[in-house]
Structure 1
């Protein structure tokens, strides 16, 4: 039997963040090529099969709750989101660890989609990583509070982005706020919940990790369930693609 050499990834590199950025850019390029235009990637079949519209989810296309977070409407849209992902994600990934970072990102993405499904108008067609990125803002706030560092800079950034969301046309404010709430909740489940539910003598890293993952799993199911519920309660009469 031959032994295969193993290699370790160098510490301090946000590989998941780089991968997420690469996936988003690759999908945008595929959409642009298929549409024959960088100005209207939404015309691509890839895009229309993955964006988020209530009537499509109501028809059972639940994958859109996730895939919509990897689609973007324009070069500016993907550029701004990927720059934000890089700025926030590189530090958060190192703070949370790869697996928990991925979990927080996906929970925030689904939380944003759930908010759209439950509260957005029926004609709204949404796409973009903004819900997940707002979730990273919420995650950063929770970590800073846990570290007992002044949260003012992060609060100012969040406040500025929320005001911007309300000010600019075509922005899914509800998707942003849903992502923010679920991202903050997921991170709080990691850094605060174990200390709240575990007796002092049992607060080992292993036990804390189990509590955190159970809570993350519950939040994932909750976000997904709320998104599906939004499709179930959709009346099917207001708008169909």
Structure 2
């Protein structure tokens, strides 16, 4: 890897970084090891030495490599996908479908909302997590009631999810999203009132925030934009909008832990470290759920 003060696209200020050749609005200190073009995290592909740009990867794949030859991987070891935002689009589509059905038939959300123990009306669920409905920890991640809540979460998912999916690869990205969301749900179940309902993708979104911050730190990028955005979100979290702050904090911590393992795992033990961190967070989710259930039954 090489850092240079200027971009081949033209002279720049001595204090600035070059911009990605595919995304001129993104500064980066990483260059393709084959053609030396500047590449951002969304475009970089992990190679045997350093990173390559998508064009060099495509050229390399057409030069008659043997079937058993090692294929270029992302920074986190994931496989290269033709559409690096496919899973992000699918996740947004699932959230959109659940939101639209909930707008047409509001009672549909009653069986998805996270509830600790049988609450008073208006919730129609006859039981909660304490009575064995653990699936509510998962289903509540895809349910939204207010349009502002849905819109904000989906904009954040699109903005944060695409670059992370490109860098982590689909399997690792999906693990980050789901497990961060479960961590947020479990932390809410642990600390919130058992009769209060909670729903939304905020836990998973804050997990993406945490992983993005870790990734930017790993690439020595300017942390100020993501820190500023995270602070703004935390101010809203603890503001007067009746937001489940537990989901945000739980998801954020889960995202930081998993994100750190994803981008810092040594190459020779990459999968073990990465999925070991995912398992560790899942163990914490189960532990929080069991502890709270023992308090409520």
TM range (shorter): 0.7 to 0.9
Matches of 1:171 and 1:77 in 2, distance apart? 10
Q: Contact between 1:14 and 1:93, CA under 8 Å: does it hold in 2?
A: yes
Of the three residues 248, 265, 276, the one matched with 1:214 is 276
Q: Which runs of 5+ in 2 are unaligned?
A: 1-78, 118-127
- Per-residue CA deviations over 1:159-199 (Å, capped at 9, x if unaligned) read 1100111113220111111111101111112222x34xxxx
Alignment of 1:135 onto 2:207: yes
- Per-residue CA deviations over 1:6-59 (Å, capped at 9, x if unaligned) read xx99625300000000000101112222x2xxxxx3xx1x31111111111101
Q: Contact between 2:81 and 2:169, CA under 8 Å: does it hold in 1?
A: no
Of the three residues 217, 220, 226, the one matched with 1:154 is 226
Matches of 2:225 and 2:271 in 1, distance apart? 29
Q: Contact between 1:17 and 1:89, CA under 8 Å: does it hold in 2?
A: yes
Question: How well do the aligned residues superpose, as a CA RMSD in angstroms?
Answer: 1.8
Matches of 1:228 and 1:27 in 2, distance apart? 28
Q: Contact between 2:102 and 2:145, CA under 8 Å: does it hold in 1?
A: no
2:97 matched to which residue of 1? 26
Higher helix fraction (1 or 2): 1
User: Which protein is bigger by CA-based radius of gyration?
Assistant: 2
1:50 matched to which residue of 2? 112
2:160 matched to which residue of 1? 88
Alignment of 1:224 onto 2:296: no
Alignment of 1:101 onto 2:173: yes
Matches of 1:128 and 1:24 in 2, distance apart? 9
Mapping 1:141-220, distance limit 5 Å: 141-192=213-264, 194-195=265-266, 203-204=267-268, 207-220=269-282
Q: Which runs of 5+ in 1 are unaligned?
A: 1-7, 36-40, 196-202, 237-241
Matches of 1:47 and 1:224 in 2, distance apart? 24
Q: Secondary structure at the match of 1:58?
A: helix
Q: Contact between 2:257 and 2:277, CA under 8 Å: does it hold in 1?
A: no
Q: Contact between 1:113 and 1:227, CA under 8 Å: does it hold in 2?
A: no
Matches of 1:190 and 1:213 in 2, distance apart? 8
Query: Post-superposition shift, 1:80?
Result: 1.5
Q: Tell me the TM-score normalised to structure 1 length.
A: 0.81
Matches of 1:213 and 1:10 in 2, distance apart? 20
Matches of 1:67 and 1:147 in 2, distance apart? 34
- More relative contact order in 1 or in 2 (CA 8 Å, sep 6+)? 1
- Per-residue CA deviations over 1:113-171 (Å, capped at 9, x if unaligned) read 11111111233210000111011000100101111223221111111100111113220
Matches of 1:228 and 1:174 in 2, distance apart? 17
